[in-house]
Structure 1
Amino acid sequence: MRTVCIIPAFNEEKTIKDILEVVKNVEIIDEIIVVSDGSNDNTAKISRDMGVFTIEYEENKGKGAALKAGIDNANADILLFLDADLIGLTKEHVVSLLEPVLNDDADMTIGIFANGRLATDLAQKVAPHLSGQRAMKRIVLNNIDNIDITRYGVEVALTKLVEKENYRVKTVELKDMTHIMKEEKLGLKKGFAARMKMYWEIVKCLKM
């Protein structure tokens, strides 16, 4: 079975190299696709310089659109979604997400941070359906509509889909892993505004 990793990224030059170095060393991944979603830093350049197939948008279209671009360009039976701002990602994390799907023990896995940072650990334990770390069979995505218009609510849309279609879902602990929070990337004021926008998009997605 062919496995493709899709990484949507917006201004993640500080973390994208470390993530790609890990994923490139996972033998069960056949291809990596990075979608630079309107980045104005070196995200796309770093990805291309590492020999990774890179799709580059001139303007930011949102995570849903970035994932859709990756999906449309992925010749794969199994898809792995990873965020581009992860801290502490290891080969073992990637394999633990993929193996249940490859072994047909699950149709989708959802990665949950553990033992990383209190804020991100707690958020994912309370709302695991918001996690961007997922592996799934391609067939799961054949039944999802409007993924490209869900800027931040794409994870919610995926979770709603698997519940509706009764797909088998397994949660996987990703120990000692976390991610950069919006307030750290953008500063307190802009980060808070971005977080509120994200929550509003999620609420809209819940109503779809």
Structure 2
Amino acid sequence: MEIITTIIPAYNEEKTIGNVLSVVKEIDLIDRIIVVSDGSKDMTAQIARDFGVDVIELKDNVGKGGAIKNGIDRTNGEIILFLDADLVGLKPNHILDLLMPVISGECDMSIGIFNNGRFATDLAQKLTPYLSGQRAIKRYIIEGISNIDVTRYGIEVALTRYVSKNNIKTKEVYLDNVTHVMKEEKLGVVKGFTARLKMYRDIAKYISLVNLKK
């Protein structure tokens, strides 16, 4: 049986990280859980420790790509499950639905798509599924991407591009009744919108960098 590690990058997610961890810990197939607190200023890291999982606490915010790279470097997991820390409505069956296609060899990367959660998040993921942060992947995929730590929020685009370029089989998995807390809800309309623009800028920057290298 391949070693399975869950990596959860988190930035100031004290309100939701506990709910996510309580679900992940129900899955016996998962050998190790790593939370990477990406420069959080709240209780994210402490709450994760209270759940008895491994915690990597970064002093500065390095972005999602850098946080994931820190997690990957600390595990020998052969299958990696990536989950966002702000998920709402997550159930054990959702995690199994992500893991089983990869465990069985049906694909080497599964991508979770929100479905029947909230209109805004459902629509966004159905229009741009390649931006989903919920994935189970074979380790070799993440190791095949150079400079993953500088992708920041372009990490999902990098993963999608790599599997497409290398003809790696993927599968989209619908996560019924799952959604996440939107940035505008976490930070307020103005700060949340600014944070969203920054995320999109990171994604666009990575895409532009990739296009220049073609």
Tell me the distance in 2 between the aligned counterparts of 1:18 and 1:185. Answer: 16
Identify the residue that residue 127 of structure 2 maps to in structure 1.
126
Identify the residue that residue 183 of structure 2 maps to in structure 1.
182
Identify the residue that residue 18 of structure 1 maps to in structure 2.
19
Identify the residue that residue 27 of structure 1 maps to in structure 2.
28
User: AA paired with 1:160?
Assistant: R
Identify the residue that residue 40 of structure 1 maps to in structure 2.
41
For residue 150 of structure 1, report the CA deviation from its aligned partner.
1.1
1:30-49 CA deviation, whole Å, 9 max, x = no partner? 00000000001000001111
1:161-181 CA deviation, whole Å, 9 max, x = no partner? 000111001000000000000
In the TM superposition, what are the counterparts of 1:154-173 in structure 2 within 5 Å?
154-173=155-174
Tell me the distance in 1 between the aligned counterparts of 2:21 and 2:8. Answer: 9
Tell me the distance in 1 between the aligned counterparts of 2:37 and 2:129. Answer: 25
TM-score by length of 1: 0.99
Tell me the distance in 2 between the aligned counterparts of 1:88 and 1:62. Answer: 25
Show structure 1 runs of 5+ residues with no match.
Answer: none
1:109-133 CA deviation, whole Å, 9 max, x = no partner? 0000000000000000000000000
SS of the counterpart of 1:153? helix
For residue 58 of structure 1, report the CA deviation from its aligned partner.
1.3
Identify the residue that residue 60 of structure 2 maps to in structure 1.
59
For residue 189 of structure 1, report the CA deviation from its aligned partner.
0.4
Residue 152, structure 1, aligned to residue 153, structure 2: yes
User: AA paired with 2:18?
Assistant: K
Tell me the distance in 1 between the aligned counterparts of 2:125 and 2:145. Answer: 23
Tell me the distance in 1 between the aligned counterparts of 2:154 and 2:120. Answer: 20
User: AA paired with 2:59?
Assistant: E
1:33-83 CA deviation, whole Å, 9 max, x = no partner? 000000010000011111110000111111100000011111111000000
SS of the counterpart of 1:59? coil
Residue 205, structure 1, aligned to residue 171, structure 2: no
Identify the residue that residue 139 of structure 2 maps to in structure 1.
138
4+ runs deviating over 6 angstroms: none
Tell me the distance in 2 between the aligned counterparts of 1:45 and 1:141. Answer: 28
Over the aligned positions, Cα root-mean-square deviation in angstroms equals 0.6
Aligned length: 208
User: AA paired with 1:171?
Assistant: E
